[in-house]
A and B are shown apart, each in its own frame.
Chain A
Amino acid sequence: MNSRNFILSIFGFFLYFAVQVFVLKNVVLFGTAFSFLYVIYILIFPIEVKTIPLMIISFIMGFSIDMFYDTLGMHTASLVLVAFLRKSWLNVHTPTGGFDDNTPPTVLNMGFGWFLTYALPLLFIHHLTFFFIDYIGSDYYLLVIIRTFSSVVFTFMLGIVTQMLFYKKKRGI
């Protein structure tokens, strides 16, 4: 990771965090579709970053968001899980010819088809974990399924739009 990417990553951390807790916290479509855009930040983190630093970044990110959501530990647990699974999923899901150096796996760099199959399962795991922890103690499991599916779709679409608008091709974030 070169110094430019490093600085942009730190900047991106605060930007995603601020947008999540001040804007997207209040955006819930139809009462079921939540937008957890900060997961996209972890998903499109530069590939050469190892799992351990990524998990620590996820932990800090999840914990800060939890403080504002009053859901202590819930975002943290699900985001660390995503960070843990990301490396193995990337290894399974390598495109032909491998990854280029210093290229974040964004939709612009990798193509829509690849990004769809890469992001959807991880988003699904994150949302399912989150809503399952939230559900413990109540008895409407159907709500977990509905919320998970609608939120995955909503977060994914927001993620695509964000990358289209604010990211450049073949350049770090």
Chain B
Amino acid sequence: MQRILLFLYSLRVFIIFIALETIAIWLIVSYNSPQGAVFFNSSNHITGNFLETRENVTGYFTLGIANEGLAEKNAELLTRLEYLTHPRDSAYIDLDSAFASAHEFRSAKVINNSIRFNQNHITLNKGRRHGVREGMGVFNEQGVIGRVKGVTNNFSTVISLLHTELLLSSKIKASDVFGSTKWDGKNPTQAKLLYVPRHVRVNKGDTVITSGYNAIFPEGINIGIVDEVGSGPETNYLDITINLTTDFSRLTFVYLVENVMQVELDSLNRASEIINE
């Protein structure tokens, strides 16, 4: 017995090394699973406060760009409002609630961001207290940004579109053809549009938007512009590269969108045994 203990004692460095590495690998695996622990990341209380303090200082340097973006969004909304205003000389009937909007919007500020890794995450300064929920979509006036992964009371972590495991249901605006946008980890300004069949004609310059099928984003938010269409290694699908409309290196203010009918939609899908992604 004593010999065994002595033997183990002589190996103590190696054993502790293995133990620490096992913990680290367990952390990697559990964090990358979809239901990953949200506590030990940039949205927990201490880290979030540090990041927010830093953002309060450095935020001033990007105020110009932020203002420009907000002004742009305002102008676009004003144009849209113009269409919706009723002229006084005509009569209107309120439509049925079936046509009521299924989406609710909130705003937040980016306090931490990365674009250079293969799995990039963003931290926002709003959390459960402000109505943020897991699975909400995130976008800004330029286009789609990502999906909320974890929420704490005051902060939330977002899986960026620049994450090699995030698939985004999308379609080509001109032809209404569906596909999935996925980042390939190469270049933070470009992504791939997958699963577009070969017989479809795709032109350079076509706009790619969200399809509204996965019920996270409403239909019609910009994702990118088609840059290159190739035949690709897979026999059934085209190899399409798109230029992302969102400039991920300069994120400041973002919008969160929640589908208020998500629960109903999910339970319907579950009842009819459809797996929808």
Known contacts A52-B13, A70-B114, A71-B119, A133 near B40 by CB under 8 Å: no
- A residues within 8 A CB of B47? 67-68
Those of B156-183 within 8 Å (CB) of chain A: 157, 164-165
List the A residue with the shortest CB-CB distance to B28. Answer: A73
Query: A52 contacts which of B16, B23, B40, B165 (Cβ < 8 Å)?
Result: B16
Distance between A64 CB and nearest chain B CB, rounded to angstroms: 9
Pair A76/B24 contact, Cβ less than 8 Å: yes
A55 at the interface (CB under 8 A from B): yes
| Contact pick for B185, options A56, A73, A143, CB 8 Å | A143
Q: Is the pair B41, A73 in contact by a Cβ cutoff of 8 Å?
A: no
Question: Are B51 and A140 in contact (CB-based, < 8 A)?
Answer: no
Pairwise interchain contact A77-B24, C-beta atoms closer than 8 A = yes
A contact residues around B13 at 8 Å (CB): 51-52, 55, 84, 87
Nearest-CB distance from A10 to chain B (Å)? 19
Q: A51-B13, A68-B51 are in contact. Are A59 and B20 (CB under 8 A)?
A: yes
Size class of B's contact patch?
A: 35 or more
Is the pair B41, A72 in contact by a Cβ cutoff of 8 Å? yes
Contact assessment for A140 and B185 in the assembled complex, using a CB-CB cutoff below 8 Å: yes
Give the docked Cα–Cα distance between A51 and B20 (Å): 13
Q: Which of B20, B54, B123, B186 contacts A80 (CB 8 A)?
A: B20
Q: Can you name the residue of chain A whose Cβ is closest to the Cβ of B186?
A: A140
* A91-140 CB contacts (< 8 Å) to partner B: 133-135, 137-140
A41 at the interface (CB under 8 A from B): no
B117 to chain A, nearest CB (A): 5
Query: In the complex the two chains form, what is the Cα distance from A77 to B20 in whole Å?
Result: 8
A156 at the interface (CB under 8 A from B): no
**Complex alpha-carbon distance, A74 and B50, angstroms:** 21
Chain A residues whose CB sits within 8 angstroms of the CB of B42 once the complex forms: 67-70
| Assembled-state Cα–Cα distance A135/B117 (Å) | 9
Instruction: Assess the B118–A70 pair: CB atoms within 8 A.
Output: no
* Chain B residues with CB below 8 A from A52, complex form: 12-13, 16
Other-chain residue from B26, B51, B157 in contact with A73 (beta carbon distance below 8 A): B26
Contacts of A67 in B (CB 8 A): 40-42, 44, 47
B54–A22 touching, CB < 8 Å: yes
Once the chains are docked, how many angstroms separate the CA of A77 from the CA of B119?
Answer: 17
In chain A, what residue has the closest Cβ to B57? A22
Question: Using Cβ atoms and an 8 Å threshold, which residues of chain A touch B50?
Answer: 21, 68
Q: Is B121 an interface residue when CB atoms closer than 8 A count as contact?
A: yes
Q: Is there contact, CB below 8 Å, between B164 and A28?
A: no
User: Which chain B residues lie closer than 8 Å to A69 at the CB level?
Assistant: 42, 114
Q: Verify if B152 is at the interface (C-beta below 8 Å from A).
A: no
Q: Are B21's CB and A81's CB within 8 A?
A: yes
Q: Which B residue sits closest to A74, measured CB to CB? A: B28
Q: Does A45 contact B (CB under 8 A)?
A: no
- Determine whether B31 belongs to the interface, using a CB cutoff of 8 Å to chain A: yes
- The 10 tightest CB contacts between A and B, nearest first, are A73-B27, A73-B28, A70-B121, A77-B24, A72-B31, A138-B185, A76-B24, A138-B164, A84-B17, A73-B24
- Other than A135-B185, A137-B165, A138-B184, give 20 A-B pairs with Cβ distance below 8 A: A28-B116, A62-B24, A66-B40, A67-B42, A67-B44, A68-B47, A70-B112, A70-B114, A70-B120, A70-B123, A71-B119, A73-B29, A77-B28, A84-B17, A133-B28, A137-B118, A138-B185, A139-B184, A143-B185, A143-B186
Selected A-B contacts with CB under 8 Å, 15 pairs: A52-B12, A52-B16, A55-B13, A55-B17, A68-B47, A68-B112, A70-B120, A71-B119, A73-B25, A73-B29, A73-B31, A76-B23, A76-B24, A77-B25, A137-B118
- Using a CB–CB cutoff of 8 Å, the interface residues on chain A facing chain B are 21-22, 25, 28, 31, 34, 51-52, 55-56, 59, 62-63, 66-74, 76-77, 80-81, 84, 87, 133-135, 137-140, 143
